[in-house]
Structures are given as C-alpha cells and as structure tokens.
Amino acid sequence: MSATIVSLPDRSTARVPKVNYLTKENGLLSWLLTGDHKRIAILYLISLSFFFFIGGALAGLIRLELLTPQTDLMATDTYNKVFTMHGVIMIFFFLVPSVPATLGNFLIPLMIGAKDLALPKINLLSWYLYIAGGLLAIYTMATGGVDTGWTFTTPLSTHYVNTNVLTTGLAVFIAGFSSIFTGLNFIVTIHKMRCPGMTWFRMPLFVWAHYAASILMVLGTPVVAITIVLVALERTIGIGVFDPTKGGDPLLFQHLFWFYSHPAVYIMILPGMGVISETISTFSRKRVFGYTAVAFSSVAIAVFGFFVWAHHMFIMGISNYAVLVFSLLTMLVAVPSAIKIFNWTFTLYKGSITFETPMLYTFGFMGLFTIGGLTGVFLGTSGTDIHLTETYFIVAHFHFVMVGGMLMAFLAGIHFWWPKMTGRMYPEKISQLAAVVTFIGFNFTFFPQFILGTLGMPRRYASYPPEFQVLNVFSTAGATILGVGYLLPVLYLTWSLKYGAVAGDNPWQATGLEWQTQSPPLTENFLATPIMDHEAYDYEWLEKQEEKEVASVG
C-alpha cells in the first residue's frame, strides 16, 4: 500500500488560499442568503448528515429490538413507527438528495467550467424546501410518528391508521419539490452553461450520471406529488379515487406511487455511479474504458427505469401478463448497470492502481452493488419473487444497493473531493481503516438478512420465531460495527478542517476541470472562463500541462 499518487505542495510553504468561497463573506446571513452553489452544497452536506444520523439512530433501534425474538424494547406499534420513520428519513431526506445536492451541486459547475448553476436562487430555494420538509418530518416524529411504512399504502394510509399521515405526506411533498428544482437546475446548467470546448462527450461521466438522474427527478417526482395529494384528499374529505367501497382502486395508488418510487432508486444510485467513474479513473490513472458506453448507459438506466415499476406489485393482484412483461423489462434494466460494472473493471485492467480511501470505498461499492444488483434478478423473476418478496431478502437486497452501493459511493465522493471542498486533506490511515470497518460491518449486518429472507422471516415485524435469533444477533452486531464505521469520518473530517495537510490545487493529479483551479475554489470558480481543449480523463494532457508549468517557472 505504499504506492500513492498523492502529491501535496511543500508543507513548509503551503497555505490554503486566503481568498476563497469560504472566506469571501462571513456571518450566518452570508450563508443563509447565499447564491453560491458551493456554499449551498456545504449547507446540504451539514443538514444531510444530520438527517442521516437521525435515520441511523432509528435503524439502531430497529436492530436492537430484533436482537431478541420477543418484543421487549418497544411495543409493536412503536416498532411500526420506528421503521416507517427510518425509511421516510433515509429515502426522502438522505438518499435522494445525498450525492446530487452536495457533490453534484458543488461540482457540476466546476466540471463544466461554469461560474455557478444556471438558477442560483432556485438552488437556494430547494435547500430551504428540503429543510422545511425535513423539519416537518421531525415534527411528525416528535408528535407521534406515522406507521404506514414509507410506501403510504392505501387503504391503510387513507382509512385505517390514526397516525400523522398528512404531515408526513406534506413533508415528502415539500421535499419532492426540492428534488424537482435540483434536477431542473442541473439539466438547464448542463445544457446552457458549458464552457467553450466542453462538448457533450468531453463531459466527465459524473456530469452524465447527474444529467440522467435529473431527468428522473423532473419526470418522476411530480407524479408522486399528485399521488400524495390524492391520498391527503381521500383521508381528509373522503374522495374515492383509491377507495374500493366507492369504486376506486387501491392498485392505482400502487401504480402511481411506484411510477415515481422505482425511478427514485435510480435517482439515488445514478449520481453514486458518477462518483465511481471519477474515482476509478483517477486511481487507476486511465481513461474510463468505454466512455461513450458508460455515458449512454446512464441515460439508458433513466429511460428503462420508467418501465419497470410494476415489479414491486407482482403479488398485489396485477395480471399475469403484466407480470410477464414487467419481469422481462426488469431484466433489461440490469443491462446498463452491468455495462457500467464491466467497463469499470476493464478500466482497472492494466491500470496503475493505488489504494487511497476513495478507491477503497469504490471497491466496496463495486462488490456490494454487484451483489445487490444480482439479487435484484431473483426478485425480478416472478417465480422466486413470490417466495422472497416481503421477507428479509428484499430488505437485504435494497440495503446492498442503497447502503452498500450508494452510501459507499457517497463516502468515496466526500473523501475524494474533500481536499477541493475544504483545501485540506483528510488523514489517510484512519480513513482507510474507516472504509474497511464500514465494509466489514456492512456485510455482517446485511448478509445474514439474505439467509433470513430465504428461510422465510417476514419484514416489518417486531418479533420472530426463536430459530432466527442467531442470524439476527449477527446482523445487530454488524450494525454496531457499521455505526462505528460511519461515526469515524464525522470525527476525522471535522478534525481535518483545522489540522489536515494543505491539499494544493490537485492532490490526486486528476484531470477534471475542477482540479485545475485553486482549493477551495474562488466564489467565481475560475479566474477566467476555462477552455476545454482535450478529452475527459486525458492523463497525457495533464502531464504535458505540468511540464509546461515547470518550463515556465524554471
């Protein structure tokens, strides 16, 4: 592990630039009223981490309850509320905005050579909407919570439960608009704000992935918004769109809900895939293999993602023909993801691989996402789905994709761009340790759940037959390790803000435009509008660039 590509400026003379986006203005108001995409990204990072740890604490409670077969820690209805709020907070207030709102916000203008996103005020508005939605969700939790599961399934949510469905629905509705505005902003920016020479096929794959995710945000989120409105109207004044006693059909709710919520998993994972493309290229010193294929596979995921929603409904009473078609389409959507995984693997082939922390998280992502994706095939096949759905198998499956995939990618990205965001390096050894701890803890937590699922343990129950206890104890123990793995970065990243080594402009010797400006960047990002005169991931161009610099200085 001694090989490294890190090149830091001379420690005796290195300084973080005095003028940058962090120091330009001071005071709380300069943050709360900012239009700077980088500052908004930091606001998002702080608030997202807050919600992540609330959601994580709820997950801890769930695992603690499941340590024993009896319901001893909390009453069963409390358990229902805890897992519902865990899902709501993690999905709508962490996973959906995670990479786009922090890294995407920070990096897209830098990567395409723009001064800011096209609509800075809308960008700030989306943060305020996110906060409003988040606070409402917390208020909901404090005043009794909601126990429908994060899916708000009718007629349970409209007729039977007595909990805060309306306020939670409103919270999700508001957060949805935050997501719509983020996506809209990205699409406009990518279309209209690219610097001279930045053609579509010179853009980093990170930008392509965000473009695809933005399409999903813009087209999918409004549908769940109207669905929530209909649920609210049904619950309050009693309209009959989903109510079978009035001729409505609860299955229509499922269709409308999953029409958003299946694409939503691609909203969550695509930006993560964008991060992986960047890290894997940088730490293998090679252009991403099959750049065009990886770029188009993002768009293909966005398109196919809209035609597979009914695979969430195989046992809900849709017709056998629909099951057949949606099963087939579900297999198809796996293809672009596989294209990405194979292309990343070929990028590694004959690369000069080094194992800095972002790369460790990247390897974690590739392994866990592949397992998550392949178990998705079990669930997309209608025959096995009938056995496995609503068991812990499905819980393990989406946690492998979302936590093992997305969260690993998020952490890879945070570490990778931390020097750019703060001007300082994170401490390498302890963060490598954290990456390994996370990986181990993750597998301990969620792998046993695959076995539990195939044995038939249903999800969403506070108690279970005693023969399942051993595996549940494994899972709870793993969750503890995982918790340590997530706490560590908070500690050492905060530490590094003051004590980290000064990073310099380009500590990884990476090729993206964001690395060709100072760290942390100026409020205007670049001194002059950059001109893109080379392909993406062109390491030879970078070398020549450095030679030029040496020549001109010497």
* Pick from 482, 308, 275: nearest CA to 381: 308
Residue 391 sits at φ, ψ, to 5 deg, of -115, 180
For the chain, what is the radius of gyration of the CA atoms?
23
Nearer to another protein, 252 or 473 (CB): 252
247 lies in the binding site for another protein (CB under 8 A): yes
Contact 169/233 with Cβ under 8 angstroms? no
Q: Candidates 177-185, 263-271, 285-293, 405-413 — which segment interacts with another protein by CB under 8 A?
A: 177-185
104 lies in the binding site for another protein (CB under 8 A): no
24 lies in the binding site for another protein (CB under 8 A): no
Q: Candidates 95-103, 248-256, 267-275, 318-326 — which segment interacts with another protein by CB under 8 A?
A: 248-256
Nearest distance in Å: CB 218, another protein: 5
180 lies in the binding site for another protein (CB under 8 A): yes
Please give the Cα distance from 506 to 440 (Å, whole number): 31
Nearest distance in Å: CB 215, another protein: 10
The single-letter code of the amino acid at 365 is F
Phi-psi region of 460 (alpha: psi -120 to 50; beta: other; left: phi over 0): left
221 lies in the binding site for another protein (CB under 8 A): yes
Nearer to another protein, 248 or 500 (CB): 248
Nearest distance in Å: CB 131, another protein: 21
| The only residue of 8, 125, 132, 187 in contact with another protein, by rule CB under 8 A | 187
Please give the Cα distance from 175 to 130 (Å, whole number): 5
Residue 247, burial from CB neighbour count under 10 angstroms (0-12, 13-18, 19+): exposed
524 lies in the binding site for another protein (CB under 8 A): yes
Please give the Cα distance from 283 to 275 (Å, whole number): 12
Please give the Cα distance from 96 to 406 (Å, whole number): 10
Q: Candidates 230-238, 385-393, 465-473, 504-512 — which segment interacts with another protein by CB under 8 A?
A: 230-238
Number of other CB atoms surrounding residue 324 within 10 Å: 11
Please give the Cα distance from 319 to 450 (Å, whole number): 28
Nearer to another protein, 30 or 529 (CB): 529
Q: Candidates 241-249, 294-302, 460-468, 494-502 — which segment interacts with another protein by CB under 8 A?
A: 241-249
Contact 64/459 with Cβ under 8 angstroms? no
322 lies in the binding site for another protein (CB under 8 A): no
Nearest distance in Å: CB 324, another protein: 21
Residues that bind another protein in the complex, under the rule CB under 8 A: 114-120, 122, 180, 184-185, 187-189, 191-193, 218-223, 225-227, 229-230, 233, 237-241, 246-249, 252, 255-256, 259, 524, 529
